[in-house]
Chain A
């Protein structure tokens, strides 16, 4: 027979919160461990360079900092960063604009889309960086060739996203609107655009990374400016410290972009700890 039993006072069940495991997973603990690890690694690096491992291979934190300081002091770093960013932004805007326009047109003309599909797929399959020499021959070694490269890289990505967006239209909604007597224009406004926008935005967000990569790669191949140029030029001079320094700048901006993008959408990074 069941019935209420007077409440018993007992200590809380379950594991007690304490011990090193808890410390490590708390924010403070994690930060401490990470900083400590970083400092230790840097110190070890500095020590190993020249003693155990030749400077050529790994350089040293002090040398790298020196190079960076030099670049900042003579303002050259800013010029290079500006060049890369310019290529990125201009290429991105051009590529995205074309892509959205084409995407919407093709989306609205399914027959045309299907006819052009094989050609588009084949062009997409070609690694765009392979086009760099072509662009350089056509546009020179300056920013223009990289802008075109960035634009062509970004184009396909956003094109496909836009197309997906157009295809994503809720059939029921379109039919409901048709029955209500909406004109084609109204349907475009009320059904097509809202359906496509999220896809376009996703494409735009993802494309930032690709724009950055394309700009750097283009500079690696042929340029006289930019972060990629710094990497390649230093490598050409066998200036390992310079390579690392330039890579460091690259990493800084990469992380910056990623953080920016993460914050503009809740779940962009697919993995979380």
Chain B
């Protein structure tokens, strides 16, 4: 009976080694099969790890880092704008029930629409450079953070608020000591989701219309039917994605140190 639930998560030393070997083995196997496929089959379509590595090295000496920097910069700027704006809006509207009620349909509308799909509109307005991507990332991030913050503020247990009020807390103290810490978990949660989305938004923008960036690398290679280049660009994108994902997970570690998690 090998349900993972009935097994302790640590496992034995030998177990761990086996897993590690398995993982390495799997990756090597994939690379090997791919390499063979490229050599035996048609390299133009299938390409091969060796070719990809060579291309990456060539790019590295060329302008790869400029493209990476562009994408990362778009993400960073979008986050810098979107996060604070989202938090502020979330807190403000979270505490203003009347205003929230009135704005509800607009907010629902925005929530329903996948904002990334509005990229062409932004490009129409702002052109091909970084601006529309930054705007796109900002907007996407803003709404994610806003919703999470808003929910967090709303979700503060009314009984907690009542108990603080009875103790004699001023509205400011209520905010500082209760609302803010209580919603911080939500805010961080929003941030954790926002990071990968920032990458997606930047990539989408670059793929639709751009002159630089990782998304642009992908479409440029594709338009030239340069499969090696295409795969190479995807690999770089994947690595960035993993980095972003790791950062997001690190955030989760910080959230809720004080929560005894049941799940």
Instruction: Please determine whether chains A and B interact with each other in the same assembly.
Output: yes
Contact B102 A24 (CB under 8 A): yes
Contact A258 B121 (CB under 8 A): no
Contact A247 B118 (CB under 8 A): yes
Asked whether A166 is an interface residue with its Cβ less than 8 Å from the other chain, the reply is yes
Q: Which residues of A contact B114 (CB under 8 A)?
A: 209, 212-213, 216-217, 254
Asked whether B199 is an interface residue with its Cβ less than 8 Å from the other chain, the reply is yes
* Residue from B108, B112, B123, B242 in contact with A125 in the complex, judged by beta carbons closer than 8 Å: B242
Q: Which residues of A contact B101 (CB under 8 A)?
A: 24-25, 30, 273
- Please provide the chain A residues from 90 to 112 with a CB less than 8 Å away from any CB of chain B in the complex: 107-111
Which of B20-28, B59-67, B163-171 interfaces with chain A?
B20-28
Asked whether B12 is an interface residue with its Cβ less than 8 Å from the other chain, the reply is no
With contacts A129-B200, A271-B150 known, is A115 near B26, CB below 8 A? yes
Chain B residue nearest in CB terms to A239: B124
Contact A111 B18 (CB under 8 A): yes
Cα separation A124 to B245 with both chains bound (whole Å): 9
Of A216, A231, A270, chain B has the most CB atoms within 10 Å of the CB of A270
Contact A255 B108 (CB under 8 A): yes
Asked whether B250 is an interface residue with its Cβ less than 8 Å from the other chain, the reply is no
Can you list, as one digit per residue, whether each of B27-49 has a CB less than 8 Å from chain A (1) or not (0)?
Answer: 10010000000000000000000
Q: Which residues of B contact A125 (CB under 8 A)?
A: 196, 238, 241-242, 244-245
Asked whether B260 is an interface residue with its Cβ less than 8 Å from the other chain, the reply is no
Chain B residue nearest in CB terms to A271: B151
Q: Which residues of B contact A259 (CB under 8 A)?
A: 112
Q: Which residues of B contact A124 (CB under 8 A)?
A: 245
Asked whether A16 is an interface residue with its Cβ less than 8 Å from the other chain, the reply is no
Tell me the interface secondary structure of chain B in the complex: helix
- Please provide the chain B residues from 220 to 241 with a CB less than 8 Å away from any CB of chain A in the complex: 221-223, 225, 227, 230, 233-234, 237-238, 241
Asked whether A15 is an interface residue with its Cβ less than 8 Å from the other chain, the reply is no
Q: Which residues of A contact B244 (CB under 8 A)?
A: 125
* Residue from B3, B207, B234 in contact with A108 in the complex, judged by beta carbons closer than 8 Å: B3
Tell me the interface secondary structure of chain A in the complex: helix
Q: Which residues of A contact B109 (CB under 8 A)?
A: 251, 255
Cα separation A33 to B103 with both chains bound (whole Å): 10
* Residue from B19, B218, B223, B237 in contact with A111 in the complex, judged by beta carbons closer than 8 Å: B19
Asked whether A11 is an interface residue with its Cβ less than 8 Å from the other chain, the reply is no
Contact B241 A137 (CB under 8 A): no
- Please provide the chain A residues from 187 to 219 with a CB less than 8 Å away from any CB of chain B in the complex: 187, 192, 209, 212-213, 216-217
Q: Which residues of B contact A118 (CB under 8 A)?
A: 23, 27
Give min CB distance, B205 to chain A, whole Å. Answer: 11
Cα separation A57 to B3 with both chains bound (whole Å): 58
Asked whether A55 is an interface residue with its Cβ less than 8 Å from the other chain, the reply is no
Q: Which residues of A contact B234 (CB under 8 A)?
A: 126, 130-131, 134
Contact B2 A108 (CB under 8 A): yes
Cα separation A234 to B104 with both chains bound (whole Å): 30
Q: Which residues of B contact A130 (CB under 8 A)?
A: 203, 207, 214-215, 218, 233-234, 237
Cα separation A187 to B1 with both chains bound (whole Å): 10
Give min CB distance, A30 to chain B, whole Å. Answer: 6
Can you list, as one digit per residue, whether each of B114-138 has a CB less than 8 Å from chain A (1) or not (0)?
Answer: 1011111101110000000000000
Asked whether A76 is an interface residue with its Cβ less than 8 Å from the other chain, the reply is no
* Residue from B27, B117, B148 in contact with A220 in the complex, judged by beta carbons closer than 8 Å: B117
Chain B residue nearest in CB terms to A132: B207
Across the A-B interface, give the 5 residue pairs with the lowest CB-CB distance, nearest first.
Answer: A133-B222, A125-B241, A115-B22, A110-B4, A213-B114
Show the binding face of A for B, using Cβ within 8 Å. 21, 24-25, 30, 33-34, 37, 57, 107-111, 113-119, 121-127, 129-134, 136-137, 166-171, 174-175, 178, 184, 187, 192, 209, 212-213, 216-217, 220-221, 228, 231-232, 235, 238, 240, 243-244, 247, 250-251, 254-255, 257-259, 269-273
A-B contact pairs, 27 of them (CB 8 A): A25-B97, A114-B19, A115-B26, A118-B23, A118-B27, A121-B245, A123-B238, A125-B242, A125-B244, A126-B237, A129-B200, A129-B204, A130-B234, A137-B227, A168-B5, A213-B116, A217-B117, A217-B204, A220-B119, A220-B120, A221-B219, A232-B120, A238-B124, A250-B117, A251-B112, A251-B113, A258-B108
> A114-B19, A122-B242 are known contacts; what are 12 more A-B pairs with Cβ within 8 Å?
A30-B102, A108-B2, A114-B22, A118-B27, A125-B238, A126-B237, A127-B203, A137-B230, A166-B4, A231-B121, A247-B121, A272-B154
